Structure 1
Amino acid sequence: MATDGVSDQNELMEADGHGRRLSPRAKSLSWIAGIIGLILLVGFAYFLSHKGSATGPKSGAGRGGGSRGAGGMNQPTTVGTAKAVSADLPILVEALGTVTPAATVTVRPQVSGTITQILYTEGQLVKRGQAIAIIDPRPYSAVLLQAQGALIRDRAQLENARVQLQRYDTLLKQDSIARQDRDTQAALVHQLQGTIVLDQGAVQQAQINVGFTKIVSPVTGRVGLRVIDVGNYIAAGDANGVAVVTTLQPIDVEFAVPQQKAPSIQKRIAQGATIAAIALDSTRTQQLDSGRFSTLDNRVDPTTGTIKGKARFANAGNQLYPSQFVNVRLTVDTISNVVTVPPSAVRSGPDGSFVWLLKGDRSVTERKVTTGISDNDKMQITNGLAIGETIITDGGDRLTEGAKVTLPGDKPATGAGGAGKGKHRRAAQGG
């Protein structure tokens, strides 16, 4: 009876709710479904709990961020300032120029002949009148001797004719000869005098040709590359010449300035003033040489609207080289005791130029100004600003009328956020 009771109990445990017996496979699927359902239930509860926590802090953070944003809009802007000062402001004209030598000479021979000596080296600095080459002088010396001999011969004939004329004059006074003979002798004397003049010209020409056999430099400068060697025959007026000499000291710079600048430059020239000129390198940071303005051209180029000018430099340090591109800066005039500010302080608006003026309560106000000429670090204010007033140079793009500003040296103010943090800290310590 007991055994029957246990077996009945096991059969009841293996039956479902309707009294049906479950197979082993059905029992396994039932367990798996229960486990999956439990996992889904736990995951759904976890999701709901995190969603609620995320929603609460996020909205709180959004409100906090909004308050910080509102507080940030009221925070003063840190700016840089400068004062309007009185200074001497130069009137400058800048242009791109090309270095041109004061003289470039191709030394050509005046007589033909064979080169016997070359007296220079490539790149040598030569003086004016210094010999640079020699042509064989012997043929020209022989011609000189011939001319000198003809002159001596004709002078002797002239002396004899003059003596004969004196005799004819004596005999004519004694009425011993006919006047025709005396006049013929006088004409012979004049003829020989003309011959003497021709002989003297021939002698001078021969002397000049002998001198031309020594080729000299007509200017002081630097010799270029050699174009002829010893032993070459060269003709008078040869196109290549013997050498090319370029003057480097002094040297000129040619440039073009806008036609609007020409009247002010011409006015200073008419007043007899010296216009200083500076030659700068391509980066405009290194000064190559200093000189003075020379002259303006006599016409304006209609294609560019510019007029050519020239400045001369001593070039003592040989920093300027022919055909080199340089930047030229002319100091046309200097305006004394004008109100100047840094160029970064001047801003452009719909109504023209203006500056942000710093008031005593650390607020700013817009001040319309009229600008004049400008330099690299100064700009002239012709109207609207007084000497000593403080203006904003940096940070002006973020300013509005009446906005509060702070300066870099000011101490930061303690805000409400800092007080709140202290209050929470004290409450935490008390708890």
Structure 2
Amino acid sequence: MKTMHFVGVALLVAGTVAGYYFVARGTAPAEPQVAPVPVEGIAVRIKDVPLYMSGLGSVVPLQTVAVRTQVDGQINSIRFREGQHVHSNDVLVQIDPRELRAKLKEATGQLRRDQAALSNAEHDLKRYRGAQDTGTVTQQLIDTQAATVAQAKATVLADQGAIDEAKVKLGYCTIRSPLTGIAGLRQVDAGNLVRAADGSVIVTIVATTPIAVIFTLPERDIGRVAKILQRRNRIPVAALDADNRNILASGSIEALDNLVDPNSGTIKLKAIFKNAKDSLFPGQFVHARMLVGELKHVPVVPSHAVLHGSKGDYLFIVDHDGKAKIMFVKTGADVGGESPLLGGGVKAGDIVITDGAARVSEKANVRLSLVSVPKENLPASAASTDLGGSEAMASSTTRAHVDGATDANGGASSRNRMSQASEVDAAGSEDSPSP
């Protein structure tokens, strides 16, 4: 027992001496230092922002005509180019008219023959009535001749109708554009035989000036839109491209549909655009953005700074210790690459990370590089740091190179946006607004 007690005391003394040695020599193991994550950022600004309602839609021509033949015959010539702007009454197609011209002549000859027969019958009736007083002509003969005259008149009338029909059909041999618009791809070439009974389309003409956009909004917006339409005659609408960035044309609301689609819970709206530059094309997919008001004095940030997770939209700001902080926000519609913040606690002057947010996490040390922000908004650790910048920059701003204070427990590894979103969802605070 004494031996074991002695061994224990010896080990305790040895450990104490070794600890003192390492402390005295300054060789105690240190926790690894994590380099700050390089990011770019911008200070939040306050401005007035237009308030929009946006919906997905497609461009619809106000008029579409499928050009078909109304007579049978061979196509002699095509008088339009595919994609050409055509005007109303322009000649599009010429069908061989020779057969119909011959039928017109035949109908004209039949009319003249029947007109001669009518004239002869009328003369006979006149003679019969003149001879009635002499008793040589019976009343029955006069009545019969009167019926013959009536039949001859009916025949002449039918002949005239046949001539009119032949003239109309002859006119159909020259197919003209029924409206001003753009000719599509031709479906039949010259030399082919076309028949009216087939109903084959030769070409489709669409009117593009003006043109319409049909888009949808959620049914919850019906009341608000209806009230705005009642208050003012015109609601401005902008049609944006598929990326929802570039404005293609500007117009106004024409009508609100009278029923909600029960399957989608949306209602259709129709907007009209002059489309003088042909920037909208029939069938094109667009985003319709309807101006319904204005937000006064709201913070705005670049739209690409806003990330998306299962708990809602969020962004990172840089606090005064040079650390990233998650802020869940509610954003309005993108306006020129900027998004208004409708909730979330972000204030004017807060520095929002605009590039590199996918590589940081909550409380990670960050280093701002080449960012123009007001000096009074920089973290305390960066207030005296300056990269030189350009002389053209305003005196109230500086190009900042900010090294955040290093936290032994901080740091961040490189992540893609999907894994970052998952991390943010897991790190949401009680102050975060609901999605």
Change (3 A) 1:192 1:272: farther
Contiguous gaps of at least 5 residues in structure 2: 1-16, 29-41, 302-329, 353-361, 364-373, 381-435
State the partner residue of 1:361. none
Change (3 A) 1:91 1:155: farther
How far apart are the structure 2 equivalents of 1:198 and 1:412? 98
How far apart are the structure 2 equivalents of 1:47 and 1:264? 75
Q: 2:248 aligns with which of 288, 292, 302?
A: 288
Aligned residues of 1:109 and 1:237 also touching (Cα < 8 A): no
How far apart are the structure 2 equivalents of 1:257 and 1:411? 42
Change (3 A) 1:411 1:246: closer
Q: 2:299 aligns with which of 336, 342, 366?
A: 342
Q: 1:304 aligns with which of 246, 251, 264?
A: 264
Within the alignment, does 1:135 sit opposite 2:99 as a pair? no
State the partner residue of 2:417. none
Within the alignment, does 1:100 sit opposite 2:60 as a pair? yes
Q: Aligned residues, how many?
A: 301
Within the alignment, does 1:231 sit opposite 2:203 as a pair? no
Within the alignment, does 1:171 sit opposite 2:127 as a pair? no
Q: 1:111 aligns with which of 41, 56, 71?
A: 71
- Deviation readout 1:40-66 (Å, 9 max, x if unpaired): xxxxx99977743649xx9xxxxxxxx
Q: 1:195 aligns with which of 141, 147, 155?
A: 155
Aligned-residue sequence identity (percent) comes to 35
Aligned residues of 1:98 and 1:323 also touching (Cα < 8 A): yes
State the partner residue of 1:394. 350
Aligned residues of 2:239 and 2:287 also touching (Cα < 8 A): yes
Q: Which has the higher helix share?
A: 1
Aligned residues of 2:350 and 2:377 also touching (Cα < 8 A): no
Q: Which has the higher strand share?
A: 2
State the partner residue of 1:315. 275
State the partner residue of 2:325. none
Within the alignment, does 1:263 sit opposite 2:223 as a pair? yes
- Deviation readout 1:142-201 (Å, 9 max, x if unpaired): 000011111112122222322333333333356553222222222222111111111111
Contiguous gaps of at least 5 residues in structure 1: 1-44, 59-78, 345-370, 382-390, 399-406, 414-431
Deviation at 1:219, TM superposition (A): 2.5
Change (3 A) 1:177 1:288: same
Q: Which amino acid aligns with 1:303?
A: N
Change (3 A) 1:341 1:118: closer
User: Counterparts in 2 of 1:32-71, with a 5 A limit?
Assistant: 51-52=23-24, 54=26
Aligned residues of 2:125 and 2:145 also touching (Cα < 8 A): yes
How far apart are the structure 1 equivalents of 2:234 and 2:377? 49
Aligned residues of 2:44 and 2:351 also touching (Cα < 8 A): no
TM-score (normalised: structure 1) = 0.59
How far apart are the structure 1 equivalents of 2:154 and 2:349? 91
State the partner residue of 2:315. none
State the partner residue of 1:181. 141
How far apart are the structure 2 equivalents of 1:271 and 1:278? 20
Change (3 A) 1:286 1:206: same
How far apart are the structure 2 equivalents of 1:136 and 1:204? 19
User: Counterparts in 2 of 1:266-281, with a 5 A limit?
Assistant: 266-270=226-230, 273-281=233-241
How far apart are the structure 2 equivalents of 1:208 and 1:231? 23
Larger-gyration structure (1/2): 1
TM-score (normalised: structure 2) = 0.59
State the partner residue of 2:399. none
Deviation at 1:126, TM superposition (A): 1.6
State the partner residue of 2:180. 220
Q: Which amino acid aligns with 1:394?
A: D
Q: Which amino acid aligns with 1:261?
A: D
Aligned residues of 1:106 and 1:240 also touching (Cα < 8 A): no
Deviation at 1:271, TM superposition (A): 5.7
Change (3 A) 1:50 1:302: closer
Change (3 A) 1:269 1:166: farther
Aligned residues of 1:94 and 1:329 also touching (Cα < 8 A): yes
